[in-house]
Structure 1
């Protein structure tokens, strides 16, 4: 279930394009005899060689007669592409995403006047075409040619100029990519070669570490890092369904993250800034693994954040902000229910279920249809919605400033006169604190407790493997924001029914994302929410159609909407049954219940 629909790109002002080494028109210079190559020349030679070998195998596909031979050629091309992945994904994220895109129509919505519908190409598309009967040789040839041409273009227009901190970022990104998407089947939809392909990428990490061997002052750290990658490669030599992902992350991923922090200390690396993954992340499920400020447009506003969040909490709970003074943010987002309201919809005034605000900060789009680009923007949407606060922002500002306590907070916490922005920022700052990463699952995978049952561990391994849940709900957030770059939050068409009916099911009447830009290809698309705290957030789906997690798992197991007879052309779920046994479905539910934050468990004891 590799379901990426490319969304409106966010532009960041942190100057990354100046730091990241992609210069057009630069060619590889020939090596002179006996010239000692620089580290960047080594990396560029490797980069060029893997592209050449991938292209050679791709170009042979159309010349081969039998489908089996074509598949073998594809596997070779894919092997070299995956070996290239750690470097390509870092130096040219957009081209990497295009080449590794799922076989799903791509919809790019910049604004109402700039909507692009693109047919996907790349390795996943080739993989699926090769396994269709009858084989469409013309379509296959066209996609192979496009994929090969893109690789050749990249080869001829890429210069490598990596600094020491780039190498740490590259290594860390790939370690996290393997753990969050590589071992889940995210990009090997038919062949199921995810574990093997993860081995290929680890071998590239070994090569990169060898190239930068002279950077190490500590031979022990160098050897430990190499050993950690070698041990991971050996562990990945396993069948897909029974692979123990829980222990892989606990024993390999987290160990590698710790070693990378030791490596950057050994190299005395100075980072210019932090990306989504923090520069000192030591575990995948750590409280400080992700940089929450990366997910806001207001990165410069960092002073007195604790006090601003407290002020935002006051506003969040105050009905003064609504026209009739009858509704606050807390009316629909009740703290004891993981900031939901336990209802199908709120007082018949809303057509959608109130989503949890826990971990909401770690997204690139907001509301269920993704129509807001920030938490601050979401505040405006709520205020001006006729069925919610129904109070224009200028009127809301007047009310806040006529409250002496609030006016004092505004003037003491914010050194500017942008009062509307300050109100929005304060509320958003509070929401950005609603992430504790202290669930039973977090504590166990971090070794702080040893209380997970075998059923709960089995559920996690199913979630990350056979049940393909993690190909949409990516760990550690278990939402739709794609690691390790976290620049895109996915929308999906699941085919959710209007009523809980598996016999005469009809799709929900809510058109979702379509209502924003009227793009037909986006009918019934909704943002992928977090699974964290899901035990506390019933009922489920955008319309609250399911009351229990067991019903939700049954829906997915049947193949989503198409599995219960709903015909939606662009459904992004796999259509066939997942063939999960009753005990496997129970294990999935048991695992999801371990994702409840400790505070919510305590409140209900």
Structure 2
């Protein structure tokens, strides 16, 4: 087989030698032209055959085969090594070694297992907590590697051998599901690169935080295995002769090499790893994908498919969470919503003169859209509202609203608040009638809603308010600038050494990042950001009190034991501006918050709380570490106003 270079060299030589023939033998021109045309056509075809996009067609088959081989190896490891040890061995070290080998075997599967089979993957490597489907009243027991980890660490108890064997056999059954599902999965090159980039984001947000390795703390070597796996898959799409491939492959190797030198989970410099390796990897992988003509998906997601990194200014799209496409934002709708947000007409009820309270009465822009109170007063001033006022900054980047997650959309959220007798005691129907009589408002609604029928309906009000809230994307802190490698105008470091140490604690020893997920620092689970979680942490009525706050949280909506005292995980962004803290506003300072978590939450304080999802073990943070942690959280304060709505944000 000729190479493309050999054929081009030969064709060039033929063209030069035939110039003489053309001059001396005119009759042969037609034949020679036909010959040269055929040669040129063959060159074009061969070039296409050698093109990256053409090679990529066969790469999918290699991806499919690689996953199948890794899955077979995982099954073999369990069958021939881990399960026999579990059934007979009395050596804790042998069990741990076999278990860690299984974890690394899973990491080779994770890019596509988590991408294509999330439900099964939860039973392979999900949290060791029951899964609750509240609306169906269903509770499913956990299973998989994290459940097994609790049986192997910190030390294996032979009395629980039968439990360990049972869990391993459950794991085997789930791996059989992978085998069946994978056979029926149709891969495309776009899906492959999508899965690879999401795995990099998964490493950043979940992997290196220890989210799935809470006891064995092998997150760092597992991240190295993940990157090695991604490098293997990438090798199917290029070679040293492919433009851009060598540099990307070298970066993967350097990243993996760096991780293999890191043996201490608590001392690992996550800030350096993300900024120096992970962010460049995700960015260059996207660039290489586009270079070989494999375009990212053109679909609306929470995290944009063309985001170079998790920390891009416009990485997130709030319209992903809108109920339907007709309710997506536009600039005029945002401005209308902003005006309505500060208008007490929404709390007017039956009072034609107008109401007493607007949305901005409690969600004050100069306080990061909070009010600085533990709990605000009820509308009549005789009591207090049930819960603390949460910030509205980045409120649109979550799949459910309120501390008890009772509303799936911002449209429903505003309706709930407006009609609540303690908060606004208004009526959307009544407000619509009053707004209809206002010519300026009527014109604004006409401009904001293209299919407006000249009649203001409650949904128009709800959607305008929601559009304004969706515009409050604020990811502009010094931490974000650090991750974007944006320098300081004064020449000073964007983050101090103490703040960087605080971030590493947040994502490591202090375990904050296993619930307040990077980069939003709320409970919306990366890297797909489709589910917002709640936790039971045991908030007391006051700091250091051994009495839990009586608010039942999600249990008030769904009487399931696992949801008793469960509340949404809120954002930590702008936390320096949003005191007091917790759903009941019990903690006045960040120092009190850190002390609470350092003790192991309510259970650590001595509150009887069997369903607590927060680990009850003490964190053993030193005074210096607590100070660094607080310094970092203060660095999450936004340095400018929220990103305004633009077509790039849609």
Provide the residue aligned with 1:8 in structure 2: none
- Structure 2: distance between partners of 1:301 and 1:255: 35
Once the two structures are TM-superposed, the CA of residue 300 in structure 1 deviates from its matched residue by 4.7
Give 3-state SS (helix, strand or coil) of 1:63's partner. Answer: helix
Once the two structures are TM-superposed, the CA of residue 296 in structure 1 deviates from its matched residue by 2.3
Provide the residue aligned with 2:312 in structure 1: 286
Give 3-state SS (helix, strand or coil) of 1:242's partner. Answer: coil
Once the two structures are TM-superposed, the CA of residue 277 in structure 1 deviates from its matched residue by 2.2
- Structure 2: distance between partners of 1:94 and 1:381: 32
- The runs of at least 4 consecutive aligned structure 1 residues that moved more than 6 Å come to none
Once the two structures are TM-superposed, the CA of residue 291 in structure 1 deviates from its matched residue by 2.2
Residues 410 and 559 of structure 1: is their aligned pair in 2 closer, same or farther, counting only changes over 3 Å?
Answer: same
Once the two structures are TM-superposed, the CA of residue 492 in structure 1 deviates from its matched residue by 0.3
Matched, 1:102 2:127: yes
- Structure 2: distance between partners of 1:533 and 1:249: 22
- Structure 2: distance between partners of 1:97 and 1:63: 24
Matched, 1:143 2:167: yes
Contact 2:374 2:586 in 1 (8 A): yes
Give 3-state SS (helix, strand or coil) of 1:43's partner. Answer: helix
Could you tell me which runs of 5 or more consecutive residues in structure 2 were left unpaired when the two chains were aligned.
1-55, 378-382, 488-492, 643-650
- Which among 98, 109, 117 is matched to residue 92 of structure 1? 117
Provide the residue aligned with 2:396 in structure 1: 361
Provide the residue aligned with 1:208 in structure 2: 233
Provide the residue aligned with 1:81 in structure 2: 106
Matched, 1:50 2:70: yes
- Structure 2: distance between partners of 1:83 and 1:432: 37
Matched, 1:174 2:165: no
Instruction: Give 1:64-79 correspondences, 5 Å limit.
Output: 64=85, 65-66=89-90, 67-79=92-104
- Which among 331, 334, 338 is matched to residue 368 of structure 2? 338
Provide the residue aligned with 1:197 in structure 2: 222
Could you tell me which runs of 5 or more consecutive residues in structure 1 were left unpaired when the two chains were aligned.
1-35
Residues 364 and 222 of structure 1: is their aligned pair in 2 closer, same or farther, counting only changes over 3 Å?
Answer: same
Once the two structures are TM-superposed, the CA of residue 294 in structure 1 deviates from its matched residue by 1.7
Once the two structures are TM-superposed, the CA of residue 37 in structure 1 deviates from its matched residue by 9.4
User: Which of 360-369 and 348-357 deviates more?
Assistant: 348-357
Once the two structures are TM-superposed, the CA of residue 600 in structure 1 deviates from its matched residue by 7.0
Residues 37 and 394 of structure 1: is their aligned pair in 2 closer, same or farther, counting only changes over 3 Å?
Answer: closer
Contact 1:56 1:77 in 2 (8 A): no
Instruction: Give 1:180-329 correspondences, 5 Å limit.
Output: 180-213=205-238, 219-237=242-260, 238=262, 239-270=264-295, 271-302=297-328, 305-322=330-347, 323=349, 325-329=355-359
- Structure 2: distance between partners of 1:230 and 1:416: 57
Matched, 1:388 2:423: yes
Matched, 1:429 2:453: no
Contact 1:121 1:147 in 2 (8 A): yes
Residues 291 and 225 of structure 1: is their aligned pair in 2 closer, same or farther, counting only changes over 3 Å?
Answer: farther
Provide the residue aligned with 2:50 in structure 1: none
Provide the residue aligned with 1:130 in structure 2: 152
Matched, 1:370 2:405: yes
Once the two structures are TM-superposed, the CA of residue 353 in structure 1 deviates from its matched residue by 0.5
Provide the residue aligned with 2:633 in structure 1: 592
Contact 1:492 1:525 in 2 (8 A): yes
User: Which of 574-583 and 59-68 deviates more?
Assistant: 59-68
Provide the residue aligned with 1:479 in structure 2: 522
Matched, 1:541 2:567: no
Residues 291 and 510 of structure 1: is their aligned pair in 2 closer, same or farther, counting only changes over 3 Å?
Answer: same
Contact 1:336 1:600 in 2 (8 A): no
Alpha-carbon RMSD across the aligned residues, in angstroms, is 2.0
Once the two structures are TM-superposed, the CA of residue 350 in structure 1 deviates from its matched residue by 0.8
Once the two structures are TM-superposed, the CA of residue 250 in structure 1 deviates from its matched residue by 0.9
Instruction: Give 1:438-453 correspondences, 5 Å limit.
Output: 438-449=476-487, 450-453=493-496
Provide the residue aligned with 1:397 in structure 2: 432
Once the two structures are TM-superposed, the CA of residue 279 in structure 1 deviates from its matched residue by 2.7
Q: Which has the larger radius of gyration?
A: 2
Once the two structures are TM-superposed, the CA of residue 522 in structure 1 deviates from its matched residue by 0.4
- Structure 1: distance between partners of 2:323 and 2:436: 25
Aligned residues: 558
Give 3-state SS (helix, strand or coil) of 1:157's partner. Answer: helix
Provide the residue aligned with 1:510 in structure 2: 551
Contact 1:40 1:161 in 2 (8 A): no
Provide the residue aligned with 2:647 in structure 1: none
Once the two structures are TM-superposed, the CA of residue 104 in structure 1 deviates from its matched residue by 1.1
- Structure 1: distance between partners of 2:122 and 2:142: 11
Deviation per CA, 1:48-82: give whole Å up to 9, x if none. Answer: 22222222222343322123322222222211111
Give 3-state SS (helix, strand or coil) of 1:430's partner. Answer: helix
- Structure 1: distance between partners of 2:471 and 2:546: 40
Give 3-state SS (helix, strand or coil) of 1:575's partner. Answer: coil
Provide the residue aligned with 2:143 in structure 1: 121
Once the two structures are TM-superposed, the CA of residue 429 in structure 1 deviates from its matched residue by 0.9
Once the two structures are TM-superposed, the CA of residue 302 in structure 1 deviates from its matched residue by 4.1
Once the two structures are TM-superposed, the CA of residue 567 in structure 1 deviates from its matched residue by 1.5
Matched, 1:531 2:553: no
Contact 2:429 2:457 in 1 (8 A): no
- Structure 1: distance between partners of 2:373 and 2:437: 34
Higher helix share: 2
- Structure 2: distance between partners of 1:260 and 1:426: 38
Which structure would you say has the larger RCO, counting Cα contacts within 8 Å and 6 or more residues apart?
1
Contact 2:103 2:145 in 1 (8 A): yes
Contact 1:40 1:160 in 2 (8 A): no
Once the two structures are TM-superposed, the CA of residue 579 in structure 1 deviates from its matched residue by 0.7
Contact 2:303 2:317 in 1 (8 A): yes
User: Which of 444-453 and 561-570 deviates more?
Assistant: 444-453
Provide the residue aligned with 2:82 in structure 1: 61
- Structure 2: distance between partners of 1:497 and 1:569: 15
User: Which of 46-55 and 311-320 deviates more?
Assistant: 46-55
Give 3-state SS (helix, strand or coil) of 2:391's partner. Answer: coil
Contact 1:512 1:523 in 2 (8 A): yes
Give 3-state SS (helix, strand or coil) of 2:132's partner. Answer: strand
Residues 443 and 544 of structure 1: is their aligned pair in 2 closer, same or farther, counting only changes over 3 Å?
Answer: same
Give 3-state SS (helix, strand or coil) of 1:117's partner. Answer: strand
